[in-house]
Structure 1
Amino acid sequence: MAMKDLLKADDIKKALDAFKGADSFDYKKFFNMVGLKAKSAEDVKKAFKILDVDNSGFIEEDELKHVLKGFSSEGRELTDKETKALLTAGDKDGDGKIGMDEFAALVHE
């Protein structure tokens, strides 16, 4: 499954275009713009599984760096600063990675 099977391609493109500049990424606005915030818990789980590239059950820092590419191959890599900010926002238990429940909470913030 790909994100375009879950979300509208136009919404993904608009959201990616809005955050093209380095250090411009705002996860709250991004998840809202792509339509993920309005999706069901089941769809958010599907999105998590797409972003969990190594199927570890967690989205680790390296996967977070490429999170926009998980929405579209045309997405850019997050800067180190953006990656750290996203990890800090999502990692509620302090284990250095984002689990499915943490991801769902992040999306719905």
Structure 2
Amino acid sequence: MAMTDVLSADDIKKAVGAFAAVDSFNHKKFFEMVGLKKKSQDDVKKVFHILDKDRSGFIEEDELKFILKGFLPEGRDLSDKETKLLLAAGDKDGDGKIGVDEFTAMVAES
């Protein structure tokens, strides 16, 4: 499954482009701009599984760094600071990774 099976290619391009500058990433604005906030929980879970590159059932810190590339291959890597902020926002149980329920909650609260 591709990200464009769930989200509009134009929305993805605009959202990734809006955060092209280092240390500009804001997950709340990004999820809204990319159209994820308006999607069903099933669609949000589909996006989670696309971003879970190693199919572990979690998005770990090393996968979070490349989250923009998960939406658009030419997206930039997040800085270490942005990655840690995103992990802190999504990791509610403190285990150092984001599960599918934590991801859907993070998108919903955006």
TM-score of Structure 1 vs Structure 2, range by shorter chain: over 0.9
Where does the alignment leave 5 or more consecutive residues of structure 2 unmatched? none
- Counterpart AA for 1:86: L
CA drift of 1:66 comes to 0.3
- Which whole-Å CA distance do the structure 2 matches of 1:74 and 1:9 have between them? 13
Give me the identity figure in percent. Answer: 72
Where does the alignment leave 5 or more consecutive residues of structure 1 unmatched? none
- Which whole-Å CA distance do the structure 1 matches of 2:53 and 2:44 have between them? 15
Give the equivalent residue in structure 2 for 1:77. Answer: 77
Give the equivalent residue in structure 1 for 2:49. Answer: 49
- Which whole-Å CA distance do the structure 2 matches of 1:29 and 1:95 have between them? 25
- Which whole-Å CA distance do the structure 1 matches of 2:106 and 2:50 have between them? 16
* Residue aligned with 2:35, SS: coil
Q: Deviations over 1:34-93 (max 9, x none)?
A: 000100000001000000000000000000000000001011100000000000000000
Q: How many residues align?
A: 109
Give the equivalent residue in structure 2 for 1:3. Answer: 3
- Counterpart AA for 1:36: L
- Which whole-Å CA distance do the structure 1 matches of 2:47 and 2:59 have between them? 11
Deviant stretches of 4+, over 3 Å = none
- Counterpart AA for 2:39: K
* Residue aligned with 1:48, SS: helix
* Residue aligned with 1:107, SS: helix
CA drift of 1:20 comes to 0.2
- Which whole-Å CA distance do the structure 2 matches of 1:106 and 1:68 have between them? 16
CA drift of 1:5 comes to 1.2
- What's the Cα RMSD here? 0.4
TM-score (norm. length: structure 1): 0.99
Give the equivalent residue in structure 1 for 2:26. Answer: 26
* Residue aligned with 2:92, SS: coil
Q: Deviations over 1:1-44 (max 9, x none)?
A: 11111100000010011100000000000000000010000000
